Amino acid sequence: MRKKVVIANWKMNYDFHETTSFIRNFLKIVFERKINHDNKEIILSPSFPFLHISNQILQGTTLNIAAQNIHQSDKGSYTGEVSAFMLKSLGIRKVILGHSERRKFFFEKNDLLSKKIKMALKYSLDIIFCVGESSLERSKNKQFEVIKSQLKETVFHCSSDEMKYFYIAYEPIWAIGTGKTATIEQAQTMHEFIRSLFFNKYGQSISDEISILYGGSINELNAKDLFNQKDIDGGLIGRSSLEMEKFLKIVQS
Ligand code: PEP
């Protein structure tokens, strides 16, 4: 069955204390308020230095941790980088790749992302792979073409058997951190299109199974309408995931 997924992408925000106290409080509140999360996957994505402690706090729960990046090699002279090989040794099982901030500020292109995907798969990490068009591309009605080539040049190099490692996050760049969410119709139309690409490439069961998340200024007010769409299986949340009550409401949506 297709998974419902909510991911908190904390980017480069929380320090050690903020990360660990958020996670501990979150677990406490979920327990105290009896928030039902049986049928959904909740994934938290803290910065590299806090992955280990975060993972330890979550031991024995159903919540998961994802890293925000990996290098395309597993070892070597790459000062300052972190590899899938290292994450695996910490028991981290998921990674976000292709986020538009990585594409924009660190010049990550599809060919590099394709190498990162290979490395993640070598260590059996699940991949939350982000795609999205700019406002200029949308203004020229090129959004479908852009998303298609982002997938064709990366994820679609992988085999059917490898699809079980993927989540796709559709994140229109113009909606990230801007407070400007895609309309329900824009989001659903794109998700349906993405699912059709998976259908054409891999067939019915993979296109039915793959979770396609929306990301871009999701908040506690718009989450429910977005998540009610038939091809939107949850969300990748930036800003609103930094506030406990907002994030809890999004999870409950
Ligand atoms: C993101 O960066 O993935 C994101 C969706 O951010 P925000 O929710 O702040 O738009």
Per-residue pLDDT of the chain (253 residues; tens, 9 = 90+): 898 999 999 999 999 999 999 999 999 999 898 887 778 999 999 999 999 999 999 999 999 999 999 999 999 999 999 999 999 999 999 999 999 999 999 999 999 999 999 999 999 999 999 999 999 999 999 999 999 999 999 999 999 999 999 999 999 999 998 989 999 999 999 999 999 999 999 999 999 999 999 999 999 999 999 999 999 999 999 999 999 999 999 999 9
CA–centroid distance, 179 to ligand 1, in Å, is 9
| CA pseudo-torsion sign 82, 83, 89, 91 | positive
CA–centroid distance, 177 to ligand 1, in Å, is 5
The residue among 55, 83, 52 whose CA lies nearest residue 69 is 83
Q: Which two tokens stand for residue 2?
A: 């297709």
Look up residue 72 and give its DSSP letter: S
Q: Is this model's pTM higher than 0.85 or not?
A: yes
Alpha carbons 6 and 215: distance in angstroms, whole number: 10
Atom 1, ligand 1: residue with shortest CA distance: 238
Q: Which two tokens stand for residue 87?
A: 């994450």
- Report pLDDT for 179: 87
- Report pLDDT for 73: 98
- Report pLDDT for 1: 80
Report how far apart, in Å, the C-alpha atoms of 83 and of each of 13, 45, 50, 119, 154 are: 21, 16, 15, 8, 19
- Report pLDDT for 177: 87
Q: What is the CATH number of domain 4-252?
A: 3.20.20.70
Q: Which one of 129, 217, 219, 246 would you pick to mutate in the ligand 1 pocket, going by the greatest count of ligand atoms within 8 A of its CB?
A: 217
- Report pLDDT for 36: 77
Are residues 46 and 64 in contact, defined by beta-carbon separation less than 8 angstroms? no
The residue among 112, 57, 55, 43 whose CA lies nearest residue 81 is 112
Report how far apart, in Å, the C-alpha atoms of 179 and of each of 115, 203, 225, 238 are: 32, 36, 16, 11
CA–centroid distance, 214 to ligand 1, in Å, is 10
Are residues 237 and 193 in contact, defined by beta-carbon separation less than 8 angstroms? no
Q: Which one of 171, 222, 243 would you pick to mutate in the ligand 1 pocket, going by the greatest count of ligand atoms within 8 A of its CB?
A: 171
- Report pLDDT for 34: 84
Residues with a catalytic annotation lie at: 99, 171
- Report pLDDT for 154: 98
Residue spans of the domains in the chain: they are: 4-252
Atom 2, ligand 1: residue with shortest CA distance: 238
- Report pLDDT for 197: 98
